[in-house]
Amino acid sequence: MQNPAAPPPVLRPSHPHAVPLQAVADHLGATTADDLAGVSVRGATLATADLREGELFVAVRGVHRHGAEFAPDAVAKGAVAIVTDADGAALVPALGVPVLVVDDPRARLGGLSAFVYGTGADADLPPLLAVTGTNGKTSVTHLMEGMLHGLGVTTGLSSTAERHIAGEVIPSRLTTPEASEMHALIALMRERDVDAILVEVSAQALTRHRVDGLVFDVAGFTNLSHDHLDDYADMAEYLAAKAALFAPERARRAVVCVDQPAGVAIAERAEIPVTTVLTPAIAEDPTVDADWRVDLVDEAPDGTTFTLSGPAGSLTTTVPVIGPHMASNAALAIVMLLEAGWEWAGLTALIDGRRIEAHLPGRIQRLSGDGGPALYLDFGHSPDAFAKTLDAVRRVTPGRVVMVCGANGDRDTTKRADMGAVAALGSDILVVTDQHPRSEDPADIRRALIDGARAARPDAVIHDVTPPEEAIATAVSLVGEGDAILWAGPGHQHYREIRGVRTPFDAAAAARAALRRAGWPVPA
């Protein structure tokens, strides 16, 4: 059994095609002083740790070192050629393998990988559906997968939480893999005869070339909120990064949620046909014109019922998680499938008057039993995610709401005060703890959250508790029948990253143990 804290494996097709290196060089327009005759390649990678015999090693400049410094390791592991820039070529010693030189090899990686794996825009691939946005990407991809399974469709999926290949489940490394891994994954999915591929696309994936070489049949947009300002100068630059997905070289059609001005802007900027979806209950401007409308019908602790109405008709269904934002996510998933070619009649037969059968890993996951306090585990780690999930919990909780949260180290520090403020304003009691401190002092991270909370609500009841298993035990000690706890941050992850080490940690198990010790029922 794989250690849950260990990095997940990088996936490749089982039977990769051999591509002549000369053809690769011609495709790239690369220069070389070496003889390429008789050399073929079966894959490509940026990382020597993931390299397999017969592959290209693509050496790019990193923050601290140039990848070309690792060329000897790559060749020792079976690399048949090196692709790098002029600076990298000067660092590569005579290793007995050809060296191809291109400008900006990272920017060329997507096109190179598409050529090697045969996954480019002209390839015979199943429908490709992409979802971008700050929050909701994982929910939308997994909701689409659940409905496709109900229609008898074999799926491939790449989300923040998991990779799925025709029923096989593998944990994820990044929200969107590097381009070489992304194309290899799609080639493997094609090899396994999947009928549809669902992909989360982060802003970083777009600006760092991770989905270059792919053209999605349908691209969806959820929302935009404060996050990743360690990567982007401001929200306008962050929005522009997301908007890049909605261009002909990246997607053929778009489905855009217009609950925010950001969604309206995406729809207006898109250079491809756009279908829009509006959820008036949570829209900043509920009067915005949209093709599809989402109206809430009922909210309960086990799901949210809504009616979706639009050009093809209307249906009423239940998404198996709480919150109006989850109804919006489900509606986006439905309309994306419709735009991708699945028939309205089939979708209504599957879900009209029924629950959507889908597993959303770590998204508002209820861990408690029918009696006692409700306890929810969620992957939210932005101010907007906190606000929406706290609101969802509050709407189905008759008693008090206790929030347990932390923040990640070595990530956008500008959002921490806002996270603390939202947590304090939306809860009755706040318990601040640790998440992934990484290289930072966890006490400093907690202090930033607490300072934000105090500034927003000076009279807030706040507990500073570490480690996290003690924090959830403290939260459980503070609640009773009819109350609820929201533990935001850990979600589906089974580790904590501390000083460069992934330490096994099971938040769900810790939460259930705390409930049992307090005498509350926990599902088997």
What pLDDT, on the 0 to 100 scale, is given for residue 3?
A: 55
Question: Is the per-residue pLDDT at 496 higher than 50?
Answer: yes
What pLDDT, on the 0 to 100 scale, is given for residue 177?
A: 83
pLDDT over 90 for what percent of the chain?
88
Question: Is the per-residue pLDDT at 240 higher than 90?
Answer: yes
CA distances from 342 to 148, 253, 348 (A): 9, 14, 11
User: Tokens standing for 482?
Assistant: 């009819």
Determine contact, residues 28/103, Cβ cutoff 8 Å.
Answer: no
Q: Find all residues with CB under 8 Å of 16, minimum gap 6, and list them.
A: 42, 43, 54, 117, 187
Burial class (CB in 10 A: 0-12, 13-18, 19+), 503: exposed
pLDDT tens per residue, range 342-356: 999 999 999 999 999
Question: Is the per-residue pLDDT at 454 higher than 80?
Answer: yes
pLDDT tens per residue, range 242-278: 999 999 999 999 999 999 999 999 999 999 999 999 9
> For 61, which DSSP code?
B
> For 99, which DSSP code?
E
| HSE of 8, CA atoms in CB hemisphere, 13 A | 21
What pLDDT, on the 0 to 100 scale, is given for residue 413?
A: 94
Q: Find all residues with CB under 8 Å of 376, minimum gap 6, and list them.
A: 322, 364, 365, 366, 367, 389, 393, 484, 485, 486, 487
User: Tokens standing for 415?
Assistant: 């959002």
H helices of 131-222, in order, are 137-150, 179-191, 203-207
What pLDDT, on the 0 to 100 scale, is given for residue 201?
A: 96
pLDDT band at 491 (very low <50, low <70, confident <90, very high): confident
| HSE of 61, CA atoms in CB hemisphere, 13 A | 10
pLDDT tens per residue, range 176-233: 789 999 999 999 999 999 999 999 999 999 999 999 999 999 999 999 987 777 888 8
Distance of CA 314 to the CA centre of its chain: 29
- 200 in the Ramachandran plot: left (φ > 0), alpha (ψ -120 to 50) or beta? beta
Determine contact, residues 260/223, Cβ cutoff 8 Å.
Answer: yes
Determine contact, residues 43/219, Cβ cutoff 8 Å.
Answer: no
Determine contact, residues 182/206, Cβ cutoff 8 Å.
Answer: no
pLDDT tens per residue, range 65-116: 999 999 999 999 999 999 999 999 999 999 999 999 999 999 999 999 999 9
Delineate the domains of the chain, giving CATH numbers in brackets. Answer: 19-117 (3.40.1390.10), 128-351 (3.40.1190.10), 365-517 (3.90.190.20)
What pLDDT, on the 0 to 100 scale, is given for residue 8?
A: 66
pLDDT tens per residue, range 128-144: 999 999 999 999 999 99
pLDDT tens per residue, range 356-375: 999 998 889 999 998 899 99
Distance from C-alpha of 36 to C-alpha of 156, rounded to nearest angstrom: 35
What pLDDT, on the 0 to 100 scale, is given for residue 231?
A: 82
Distance from C-alpha of 232 to C-alpha of 236, rounded to nearest angstrom: 9
Determine contact, residues 258/295, Cβ cutoff 8 Å.
Answer: no
Determine contact, residues 435/377, Cβ cutoff 8 Å.
Answer: no
Which range, of 267-276, 397-406, 488-497, averages the lowest pLDDT? 488-497
What pLDDT, on the 0 to 100 scale, is given for residue 232?
A: 86
Give backbone dihedrals phi and psi of 348, rounded to 5 degrees, phi first: -65, -40
What pLDDT, on the 0 to 100 scale, is given for residue 468?
A: 97
- The H or E element that residue 505 is part of is none
What pLDDT, on the 0 to 100 scale, is given for residue 230?
A: 81
Question: Is the per-residue pLDDT at 9 higher than 80?
Answer: no
Determine contact, residues 92/98, Cβ cutoff 8 Å.
Answer: no
- Write down the mean pLDDT value for the chain: 94
Question: Is the per-residue pLDDT at 7 higher than 80?
Answer: no
Q: Find all residues with CB under 8 Å of 289, minimum gap 6, and list them.
A: 276
What pLDDT, on the 0 to 100 scale, is given for residue 493?
A: 86
pLDDT tens per residue, range 372-388: 999 999 998 899 999 99
pLDDT tens per residue, range 23-67: 999 999 999 999 999 999 999 999 999 899 999 999 999 888 999
Which range, of 110-119, 166-175, 340-349, averages the lowest pLDDT? 166-175
User: Tokens standing for 124?
Assistant: 């015979």
Question: Is the per-residue pLDDT at 2 higher than 70?
Answer: no
What pLDDT, on the 0 to 100 scale, is given for residue 1?
A: 42
Question: Is the per-residue pLDDT at 431 higher than 70?
Answer: yes
